[in-house]
Structure 1
């Protein structure tokens, strides 16, 4: 579990995620509306060296950012009720960049076989505070998690 006291801390962790991501990594962001999923993605983009403004792809479903160290494929599948298998998401999951999937838990069978899930929980008493759980699905995700936690521990010693 990682506790983040404010959006700035979320962006700090997210930058680490971007810096440690490797081509083909998949990240699923899970949590309530307003939990910080898009804030996290913006920080990940900065960590990848992307300067372009990152917007939620709620209505477009997928936004691609090519200018960073590796491409960022930002997906928001909140509005995908059915037909996710027709979107060609596996091309992104197996691609040369980092796939960040907001509401990825809604994809169920369409999720990649190997991914790291970040589960956001809002604090009931402090509106800016978040607790994150990192759950791995596969060996690649386990290594991704280890890289993130190693960097996070170094800056929080």
Structure 2
């Protein structure tokens, strides 16, 4: 598989566009993939990782506030047919802490996990289906999707089509 088939980038004009991409990902997961995904989110502080996740959580059916899990490590969202977990590992002191919180219980066929600062949990996290990189471009952001599994490749193909 060529690298071009495993990556896709485009520009996000603003926060509204970032939320819209998250909602679009949710729609693909619910109607096309019909199974959970593991997403690693990379980007500097304020790059839009939580904003993208907010769009996804709302797109999966959550009504209400979507907060950053900066101090709690994980914010769970139990929805009708899905569980969405938003992890922020920025403040994680040691990857072993993930074992104590039962990290393995979070990953199953109906769970979608969005993990900010995944390098902090190295060795304790499952491999991602897709990695999303968000990079500042003045007031805009560039978003890059990189597939890392067959499921991630399928997700990427749907993103490119629509």
TM-score over 0.5 for the pair:
yes
* Counterpart in the other structure of 2:149: 138
Contact 2:40/2:128 (8 A) holds in 1 = no
The answer to whether the aligner puts 1:107 opposite 2:121 as a matched pair is: yes
Could you list the runs of 5+ residues in structure 1 that have no partner in the other structure? 152-157
Contact 1:30/1:105 (8 A) holds in 2 = no
User: TM-score normalized by structure 2?
Assistant: 0.83
Shift of the 52–23 alpha-carbon distance from structure 1 to 2, 3 Å rule, reads farther
Q: State the distance in 2 between where 1:68 and 1:31 align.
A: 30
The answer to whether the aligner puts 1:60 opposite 2:72 as a matched pair is: yes
Secondary structure in structure 1 of the residue aligned to 2:143: strand
Per the TM alignment, residue 131 of structure 1 is displaced from its structure 2 partner at its CA by 0.4
The answer to whether the aligner puts 1:27 opposite 2:35 as a matched pair is: no
Per the TM alignment, residue 18 of structure 1 is displaced from its structure 2 partner at its CA by 1.2
Could you list the runs of 5+ residues in structure 2 that have no partner in the other structure? 1-8
- How much is the aligned-residue C-alpha RMSD, in angstroms? 1.7
